[in-house]
Structure 1
């Protein structure tokens, strides 16, 4: 959790580490590694990950692009990541087991900033977006700052992601776990009880847009960790740009992924690519 705009800087180039542990939690793959050459990341930052072997498709194994993955946990040089296999790249990463090699670049991007004094933190996420919120929750606990966690999932199977946070309130689209409906409904109820807060969020773009609109309408500040396809992770390719409130375009990897809700254009989602 940052207290200033300065980001933790990644070492130059990629490095190869060894998977120290791997497990499946519901539909999610969780794996850990020791990274003794990189600095400690902050919640909201991400890494570009690639398997050290068999990282490609087709007969000639044409290499995949690295995948941008948020940090789930970081302590004592050990990093943990969580992902769901939704394509060939994440499918290959989900196959990694103890002893396998992992190429990584990071930590990259801007992380979450600490709440202003007197404001409590509301963590509101969905799907695989729970990863940076889990790390943020641990940072808040360490700093003895109050927080509440609200998580949304599509169904019972995916609601297993609530295990990554402590005492989270859960909403599911099909009503199989917790509140039947959208996690933003839990958020609105929480703000009605006490609006002296800061919203921290990560999840699907449609959910982030709903939270951006809630933030603007209520005047409650929000920090949104955007998810976007990335080819490089350090601003060279301009493949992850989003439209800002001033009409300019910002690179999610370099100017984000965490941005203030008020800094996004009303139609930022329409221009996402």
Structure 2
């Protein structure tokens, strides 16, 4: 389906309007951080939810709810004040290849980030480029694992400088940074701008983007993400990832 640039923008903008509203929350993992009002609870619950956001969406939501219950439904308080024995209650958690050991490691790394690095927002903001947060994600991963850690857990944080599209972290950054006034994305990280965000690239958004001529590269990797970013920025330089709603909606809900 090839549309002129002006037609493509009108088409995609109409799909953004259709999907970027609170009805989207009913079937999306972003509903989990919406259970909280405190900034740190939102960002920690969002980060943990985004980390396990692959596979069946129902099971992602169910398992993210389980995660929050294991953190006594007070994620920031648990991260900051847990004792070693408290980590024992996480040991039976499992979502695909993310297990209780990984979960405990994430709690320790988050504690380290809040105690020594001023929190998640601060770490991501530190290495932000004008039009990209991919360097920030790479830097975040090195800080996340600078404490003693299990090697197996490293695979659960992507690194764009190793050619990963880092879909889950880019989705998480959309949640935290983008201000949509529609009740979906939070926009609580004011030190970053929606113009710096990258589209969470997965099977659905990738396939739709290729059909619409927004993406030529076959693999969903960092190079494909850079290509898609460039084309979405042409449509809206200030809020390019609003089109994630259009691409995802067309793929998942309309089988486009």
Q: Given the two structures, how large is their TM-score scaled by the length of structure 2?
A: 0.28
- Structure with bigger strand share is 1
Higher normalized contact order (CA 8 Å, seq sep 6+, divided by chain length): 2
Q: Given the two structures, how large is their TM-score scaled by the length of structure 1?
A: 0.27
